[in-house]
Amino acid sequence: MRNIKLTIEYEGTGYLGWQRQKRGPTIQGTIETALEKITKHRITLIGSGRTDTGVHALAQVANFKATTRLTSAQFQLALNSILPKDIVVINAEDVDQDFHSQFDSRSKIYIYQILNSPQPSALGRLRCWHVIQPLKTQEMEDAAISLMGEHDFKAFALSKQGINSTIRTVLDVRLEPNEYDLLEFEIEATGFLKRMVRMIVGTLVQVGKEKITPLNFRTILESGERTKYVRAAPPWGLYLKEVKYG
């Protein structure tokens, strides 16, 4: 029995998120079906974490166990010949038997892209959030800095998640505009709550629109109170960029 680790890129537009469901296509379900065609056995694919409907990934990590003579490179080639064009295995490798893509991860990096322009993008309409009103990026950056360190992110998470704690540690945060009117928010943390990044971004945009101040943003974070200014950004601007191990 071998343990094979996959690194996967996907566009989440046409899927109901990562996790397998009874109805509708999912990333996990689509890859498992492809693996079962290759191995002729039932396969359980373990992902590093779930991404929601419409969310993309630059490097999602998953692993599965199988008894096979195929090399990891052959698995990669076979999978990419079967999978739809919006899912690509960018790497496959054999790993130790005890490797677990979810439990062994040390941190994850997400990015969120905002198109801050008077005009929308035809090509990027499902890959970034179009915000027409000019945003005060310095104020947004000042607010984002308050996310650093260990905090209770209750204000930036769904109220019912079935978890014991809403405390998470943010290791790094960055907010940068580029020459194409794209504003990219990047955050690295040891763990994330459901919709946490989208709610943070949605609230930072409220700062950028001068609806609230950076101090108001910090107060929301520290109080855990979800005010009317805490809003979830749409899923299509969110990307899982990297999962770190070891």
Give the global pTM.
0.95
Domains 2-95 and 107-245 share a fold: yes
Q: What is the pLDDT of residue 5?
A: 98
Q: How far is 143 from 146, CA to CA, in rounded Å?
A: 6
Q: Which amino acid is at 152?
A: D
What residues contact residue 32 under an 8 Å CB cut-off, 6+ apart? 20, 43, 44, 45
**DSSP assignment of 155-197:** GGS-S----S--EEEEEEEEEEE-TTSEEEEEEEES---TTHH
pLDDT of residue 13: 96
Respond yes or no: is residue 52 known to be catalytic: yes
Mean pLDDT of residues grouped by 10 in the chain (246 residues)?
97 96 94 96 95 97 94 96 98 97 97 96 94 96 97 88 85 90 96 95 98 97 91 96 96
198 by DSSP, 3-state: which? Answer: helix
At 216 the three-state DSSP class reads helix
Rounded Cα gap, residues 222 and 143, in angstroms? 12
**Domain 2-95, classified CATH 3.30.70.580, yes or no:** yes
Please answer whether residues 43 and 66 qualify as being in contact, where contact means their C-beta atoms are separated by less than 8 angstroms.
yes
Beta carbons of 152 and 133 less than 8 angstroms apart: no
Say if CB 238 and CB 56 are below 8 A apart.
Answer: yes
Whole-angstrom Cα Rg for the chain: 19
Which pLDDT value is given to residue 162? 67
Task: For domain 107-245, say whether CATH 3.40.50.970 is its number.
Answer: no
Query: Distance between CA atoms of 189 and 185, rounded to whole angstroms?
Result: 13
- The domain ranges of the chain are 2-95, 107-245
Q: Which of 52, 142, 152, 181 is catalytic?
A: 52
